[in-house]
């Protein structure tokens, strides 16, 4: 039986509203995991999360609540989860994920067939995408017999690189173990906004070393590649690392720009990328570095910093956002408009500049609505991204600055798409 072989360990800290949704998914009527042993590793939450978990534990006897004596950090809590696992397989999940249980018997069959790593999301069957896709913690179920003393030591050591679970994934890659890739996604990331650096949430930032506090995900990722014991494989992983970009060069440009603007050209971030690269990759990095630094000089670095820090109110004031919206509303008067983007920028525009009153808005779309059960968002009809092509409209307006990727991915007519942010050509990427 599945409950004899698989256990779930959920790591959480101070995200009660998201945690509640995750627990609802785990214990809903059609959940195939509701009778498994489910352990919640609570990193000493103080926002009511602990009380919520206790409520569920009273209702479900298979839910175990462990409260850490202290907040040991997100990655420390992840490492502890693997250390306490006891059954044949362990699935470590987060407190902000959603699940699609349809056809979960596919995962159950993979467990019966004794795979070493069972992905819960689709991935390409090559070591580069396996490692990248496996960076998403709930994206893999692991056979616990592969969690050796060495793996646990490497996990604790790799806490500083933000991906402790890479030690176990790398062990399976090094040993050429069996990976199972499913036909669909069973876990859907993420309900919450992205915490850029898992070291700083709930911790005293002044006491955290700069090399850790300023670390970008790509630095932690590339540092973790050292756990792969074959240099050829390391080069292949880096060469095929894309992270939603078309090329390694483009990825370097974006991360160099981020480090320059967000982290004030923190040298160690550049060095930790550069040191792991092959000669060819180092040359690509140098070209990307020169090109990006020149682009920043030619742009307004102050405004780029406002964007990097999500200081949109100041950016809008300095770029006369109200005038820009008034101009657009006159130009597109009586046009049927779809808004794409329902995040921070939309909220500020709507509150400060009456965005929804300026246009004839027939619907609003956003990736977060893909699995959304509601019909309306702030009084506007929700259109799921995949439904846009079947909807009647004249124009799509984007309260987003990274909107070109959306146009490409959804195959939208570019002539009908327009950015709602004034002076949007200042953006680097």
Query: What is the CA angle 126-155-166, rounded to 5?
Result: 15
Distances (CA, A) of 315 to 125, 187, 196, 292: 43, 36, 21, 22
Over residues 80-100, the mean pLDDT reads 96
Mean residue pLDDT of the chain comes to 92
Stronger pLDDT, 144 or 424, i.e. the higher one: 144
What's the confidence (pLDDT) of residue 199? 58
Minimal CA–CA distance to 337: which of 407, 402, 420?
420
What's the confidence (pLDDT) of residue 200? 66
- Provide the token pair at 136: 């998403």
CB atoms within 10 A of CB 406: 20
What's the confidence (pLDDT) of residue 208? 84
Is 90 exceeded by the pLDDT of residue 203?
A: no
* Tens digit of each residue's pLDDT (9 = 90 or more) over 299-332: 888 888 888 888 999 999 999 999 999 999 999 9
Instruction: State the pLDDT confidence band at 194, using cuts at 50, 70 and 90.
Output: very low
Instruction: State the pLDDT confidence band at 85, using cuts at 50, 70 and 90.
Output: very high
Minimal CA–CA distance to 304: which of 313, 296, 292?
296
Is 70 exceeded by the pLDDT of residue 167?
A: yes
26: Cβ–Cβ under 8 A, 6 or more apart, which residues?
8, 10, 33, 34, 38, 99
Separation of alpha carbons 189 and 99, rounded Å = 9
CATH number of 324-426: 3.40.50.720
Over residues 168-175, the mean pLDDT reads 97
Cβ contact 46:16 at 8 Å = no
Q: Is 188 helix (H, G, I), strand (E, B) or coil?
A: strand
**199 Cα distance to chain centroid:** 16
Report the share of the chain in percent with pLDDT over 70. Answer: 97
Residues in a beta bridge with 89? 6, 143
Distances (CA, A) of 131 to 46, 58, 93, 234, 421: 34, 38, 17, 11, 36
Is 50 exceeded by the pLDDT of residue 193?
A: no
Q: What is the DSSP string of 373-424?
A: --SEETTEEB--GGGGGGS--SEEEES-SS-HHHHHHTT--GGGEEE-STTG
Over residues 186-204, the mean pLDDT reads 63
What's the confidence (pLDDT) of residue 198? 55
CB atoms within 10 A of CB 29: 5
Minimal CA–CA distance to 284: which of 273, 294, 295, 269?
273
Cβ contact 32:2 at 8 Å = yes
Separation of alpha carbons 383 and 413, rounded Å = 17
Minimal CA–CA distance to 38: which of 16, 14, 21, 56?
56
What's the confidence (pLDDT) of residue 219? 94
Alpha helices, DSSP H, located in 227-336:
231-239, 248-262, 267-274, 279-298, 301-308, 312-318, 321-331
Q: Where are the domains of the chain?
A: 2-188, 205-298, 324-426
Fold of 2-188: Spore Coat Polysaccharide Biosynthesis Protein SpsA; Chain A (3.90.550)
Stronger pLDDT, 403 or 372, i.e. the higher one: 403
């Amino acid at each position: 039986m599945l409950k004899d072989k698989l256990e779930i360990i959920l790591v959480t800290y101070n995200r009660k509203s998201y945690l509640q949704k995750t627990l609802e998914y785990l214990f809903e009527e059609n959940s195939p995991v509701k009778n498994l042993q489910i352990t919640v590793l609570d990193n000493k939450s103080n926002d009511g999360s602990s009380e919520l978990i206790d409520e569920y534990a009273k209702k479900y006897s298979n839910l175990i609540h462990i409260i850490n004596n202290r907040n040991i950090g997100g990655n420390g809590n992840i490492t502890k989860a693997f250390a306490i696992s006891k059954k044949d397989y362990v699935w470590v999940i987060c407190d902000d994920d959603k699940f699609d249980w349809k056809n979960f018997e596919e995962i159950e069959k993979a467990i019966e067939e004794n795979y070493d790593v069972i992905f819960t999301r689709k991935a390409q069957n090559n070591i580069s995408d396996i490692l990248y896709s496996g960076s998403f913690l709930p994206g893999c179920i692991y056979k616990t017999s592969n969690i050796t003393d060495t793996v646990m030591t490497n996990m604790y050591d790799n806490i500083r690189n933000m991906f402790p679970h890479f030690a176990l994934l790398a062990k399976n890659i090094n040993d050429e173990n069996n990976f199972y890739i499913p036909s669909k996604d069973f876990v859907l990331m993420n309900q919450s906004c992205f915490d850029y650096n898992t070291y700083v949430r709930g911790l005293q930032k002044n006491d955290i070393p700069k090399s850790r506090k300023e670390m970008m995900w790509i630095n932690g990722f590339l540092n973790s590649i050292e756990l792969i014991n074959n240099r050829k494989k390391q080069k292949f992983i880096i060469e095929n690392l894309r992270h939603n970009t078309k090329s390694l060069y483009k990825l370097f440009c974006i991360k160099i720009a981020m480090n320059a603007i967000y982290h004030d050209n923190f040298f160690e971030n550049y060095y930790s990328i550069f040191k792991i690269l092959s000669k060819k990759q180092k040359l690509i990095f140098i070209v990307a570095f020169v090109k990006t630094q020149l682009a920043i000089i030619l742009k307004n670095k102050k405004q780029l910093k406002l964007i990097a820090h999500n200081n949109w109110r100041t950016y809008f004031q300095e770029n006369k956002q109200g005038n820009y919206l008034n101009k657009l509303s006159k130009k597109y008067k009586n046009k049927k408009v779809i808004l794409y983007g329902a995040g921070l920028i939309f909220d500020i525009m709507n509150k400060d500049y009456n965005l929804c009153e300026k246009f004839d808005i027939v619907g609003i779309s956003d990736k977060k609505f893909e699995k959304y059960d509601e019909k309306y968002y702030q009084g506007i009809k929700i259109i799921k991204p995949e439904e846009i092509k079947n909807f009647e409209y004249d124009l799509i307006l984007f309260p987003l600055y990274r909107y070109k990727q959306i146009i490409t991915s959804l195959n939208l007519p570019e002539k009908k798409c327009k950015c709602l942010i004034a002076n949007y050509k200042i953006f680097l990427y």
